[in-house]
Amino acid sequence: LTCGLGSPSKDAVTKLLAVLGTIALVLAIIALLTGSLAPLSLLVVDIVLLWALSTVRHAVHVRHQPYAA
């Protein structure tokens, strides 16, 4: 897989976001199977963390100059 800037980075934030995404998937499945409010509440917290961390990451991302043709 590649991103728009080339190959994806493998820094700590990328790994943390991947873990949070995996946890979100597991919590969604558990919430659907059990119908319990606890995993659904944890899923909301997880999605908010994913949103906040990715927004901050995009906000501090250094922009590259376009290549001259």
Number of CB atoms found within 10 A of residue 57's CB: 14
Q: What angle do CA 29, 56, 48 make, to 5 degrees?
A: 30
Characterize 10-48 residue by residue with b for buried, 16 or more Cβ atoms within 10 angstroms of its Cβ, and e for exposed. eeeeeeeeeebeebbeebeebbeeeeeeebeebbeebee
Q: Running along the chain, 69 residues long, what does each successive block of 10 average in pLDDT?
A: 60 89 97 95 97 89 67
pTM over 0.85: no
> In this predicted structure, what is the pLDDT of residue 58?
83
Nearest to 58 by CA among 2, 20, 3: 3
> In this predicted structure, what is the pLDDT of residue 11?
81
